[in-house]
Each structure stands twice: as structure tokens, then as C-alpha cells.
């Protein structure tokens, strides 16, 4: 997988959600089974023009489920590891207890403004609308009471809301931590876990970020991913290294 600018974050490195999404796509193809859950552990950064080699293995092939993994390397150095379970079982019981946030529909929400450092990155490829979200100039140090923020996102290039695509849009806990603290912060993910509920047709996906805590230099949060009609598609969770923002960072990454 060539690391190009369009797969990178504002740091100029491979976006963690793209790494997880690529791994999910490979494992679903390898096992011929849909994703149940996948978790990525991020070890090192990969920057353009690196090429990531993805080695996929179906470790266990059961009657209805598979356990599998992906090891990702650049020039022999391990960059990230993905563990996953895939499968499907026919049962008569279903239920959904997550609560959808009360936000306007995407056509009533303004576009999310992007800083110059995001030019050409994966964020620029995603049509995002602000549902419950503060602009950078509004981050005055006042924390959110409930630690929640949300954005609508339209998937690029007509992508369906599959596990691979949802892994990309579920990687937004670092953004939510800045919103929750009320400060412009930087941070990189230690991990990213996606738990699939269902594949459901939708043009827009609501990214419902719920930050649980920040302490000791690390932050923890979950994301609920909703279809436009209110159907829960998946949940994601992450732990993040929280860093103080450097003013010169924008200039460095924009070059």
C-alpha cells in the first residue's frame, strides 16, 4: 500500500483509520466473511513515499467465524498490527440501546473549515458538516460538560458504509479530545478498535464522539457511527497520546 498524501493525517503520516480500513478490506477478502470487530495497535509512523507491506493471516477458521491478523511493515520495520474476528450467525434476537444525539440533518449543517495543514490529506477528501462542534477560535479553554461532539461525513467516491470505510471515519477521538478540553491539542492514536453492528445503505454517516476521560497525558473515548436514518452502524474506541499544540506545527506540516 503506497503511502500518499491523500491517505495521511494533518501530521503528514499515514492516517490510522486508513491503516485499519485497508486491513479490514484484506481480511474480509481473505476469509470471505464480514467483519465483527478489528483492533489496530499503532507502533511507528509511515510517511510518503513509503510503501506498507501488509501480511494477512487467517489464524483460525471456525464453522461461523474466523480469527485473523495483519502485520504491516515498511522496509522490514513493523508499523502497525491488526487483530480481527470475522463471521456471521443467524439468530432470531436483535436489539439496539445506544442513544442517537439530537443534531440537525447534514443539509442544515455548515461545512467543517479545515486549516491549511490539512490540504490534500484524507480530511480534505471527506465532505464534513458541523453538527455539534466548535471552531478552533472558539476553543477558549472551556471544557464540554458531556464530552460529546459530532460531525456528519459523506464518504468519498461513492463508498458504501462497510467496515473498511467506517474504520476511516471512526478515527476521530483525538479531535474530540480537543473539543472536550476546549484547547487546540495535537495527539496520536495508540490504538483503534471498530465493532461492526451492520452494513446499512446511507449517504451520510454521523460521527458521534464521546470522550470519557483525559488524565496522565492520555485520553480515552468512543465513537458511535450512525446512518442518516438513525441506524447504528458501528462503534469505535481509542486511547490517544495528548500533546500540547505547537504554533509552528501548522507551518511544518503544510510544507
Question: Within a domain: residue 197?
Answer: yes
pLDDT at 114: 87
This prediction has a pTM of: 0.94
Mean pLDDT by 10 residues, the chain (255 residues): 95 96 98 98 97 98 98 98 97 94 97 89 93 93 96 86 95 95 92 97 96 97 97 98 73 41
Domain containing 239 equals: 5-88+106-254
Question: Within a domain: residue 42?
Answer: yes
Question: Within a domain: residue 162?
Answer: yes
pLDDT at 196: 98
Question: Within a domain: residue 17?
Answer: yes
- As a whole number of angstroms, the distance between CA 118 and CA 120 comes to 6
Whether the CB-CB separation of 192 and 43 falls below 8 Å is answered with no
| Number of domains, the chain | 1
Residue 68: which CATH number? 2.40.160.210
pLDDT at 247: 59
Question: Within a domain: residue 96?
Answer: no
Question: Within a domain: residue 234?
Answer: yes
Amino acid at each position: 500500500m503506497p503511502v500518499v498524501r491523500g491517505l495521511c493525517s494533518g501530521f503528514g503520516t499515514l492516517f490510522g483509520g486508513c491503516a485499519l480500513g485497508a486491513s479490514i478490506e484484506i481480511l474480509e477478502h481473505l476469509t470471505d466473511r464480514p467483519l465483527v470487530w478489528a483492533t489496530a495497535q499503532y507502533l511507528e509512523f509511515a510517511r510518503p513515499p513509503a510503501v506498507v507491506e501488509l501480511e494477512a493471516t487467517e489464524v483460525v477458521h471456525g464453522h461461523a467465524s474466523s480469527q485473523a491478523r495483519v502485520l504491516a511493515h515498511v522496509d522490514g520495520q513493523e508499523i502497525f498490527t491488526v487483530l480481527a474476528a470475522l463471521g456471521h450467525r443467524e439468530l432470531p434476537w436483535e436489539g439496539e440501546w445506544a442513544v442517537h444525539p439530537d443534531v440537525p440533518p447534514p443539509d442544515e449543517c455548515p461545512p467543517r473549515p479545515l486549516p491549511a495543514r490539512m490540504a490534500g490529506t484524507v480530511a480534505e477528501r471527506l465532505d464534513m458538516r458541523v453538527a455539534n462542534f466548535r471552531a478552533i477560535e472558539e476553543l477558549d479553554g472551556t471544557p464540554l460538560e458531556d464530552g460529546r461532539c459530532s460531525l456528519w461525513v459523506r464518504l468519498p467516491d461513492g463508498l458504501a458504509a462497510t467496515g473498511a470505510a467506517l474504520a476511516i471515519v471512526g478515527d476521530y477521538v483525538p479531535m474530540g479530545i480537543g473539543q472536550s478540553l476546549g484547547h487546540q491539542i495535537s495527539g496520536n492514536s495508540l490504538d483503534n478498535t471498530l465493532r461492526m453492528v451492520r452494513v446499512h445503505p446511507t449517504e451520510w454517516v454521523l460521527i458521534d464522539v464521546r470522550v470519557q476521560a483525559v488524565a496522565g497525558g492520555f485520553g480515552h473515548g468512543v465513537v458511535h457511527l450512525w446512518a442518516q436514518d438513525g441506524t447504528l452502524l458501528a462503534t469505535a474506541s481509542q486511547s490517544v497520546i495528548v500533546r500540547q499544540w505547537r504554533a509552528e506545527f501548522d507551518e511544518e506540516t503544510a510544507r
